[in-house]
A = this chain, B = another copy of it.
Amino acid sequence: MNEDLSREIERMALAARDASQKLAGMSTALKNRALLETARSIGRNRPALQEANALDLEAARAHGIAAAMLDRLTLSDEVISRMCGGLQEVAALADPVGEVVRMWRRPNGLLVGKMRIPIGVIGIIYEARPNVTVDAAALCLKSGNAVLLRGGSEAIHSNRALVGLMAEAWEGAGIPPGCVQLVATADRGAVLEMLKQDTCVDLIIPRGGESLIRFVVENSRIPVIRHYKGVCHVYVDQGADREMAKRICVNAKTQRPGVCNAMETLLVHEAEADTLLPEIISALRERGVEIRGCPETLRRSPGATAASDGDWGAEYLDLVLSVKVVRSLEEAIDHIRRFGSLHTESIVTKDYDRAQRFLREVNSSTVLVNASTRFSDGYELGLGAEIGISTTKLHAFGPMGLEELTTTKFIVQGAGQVRQ
Contact = CB atoms under 8 A, between A and B. Distances in A.
A4 interface: no
A96 interface: no
Interface residues of A, number: 71
Interface in A191-225: 198, 202-203, 217-218, 221, 223-225
B24 A418 contact: no
A248 interface: yes
Contacts of A25: 360-361
A202 B221 CA distance: 16
12 contacts: A24-B361, A117-B363, A120-B393, A202-B394, A244-B416, A367-B411, A367-B412, A370-B414, A371-B412, A371-B416, A372-B419, A397-B409
Contacts of A225: 394
Interface in A372-420: 372, 374-376, 380-382, 392-395, 397-399, 407-419
A217 B117 CA distance: 24
Contacts of A244: 416
A366 interface: yes
A106 interface: yes
Nearest to A419: B374
A359 interface: yes
Interface in A91-144: 98, 104, 106, 110, 112, 115, 117, 119-120
Contacts of A408: 397-398
Interface string A302-339: 00000000000000000000000000000000000100
Interface string A330-372: 0000000100000000000000000100011101111111111
B360 A419 contact: no
A251 interface: yes
A247 interface: yes
B416 A241 contact: yes
A414 B371 contact: yes
A252 B395 CA distance: 31
A301 interface: no
B418 A106 contact: no
A241 B416 CA distance: 9
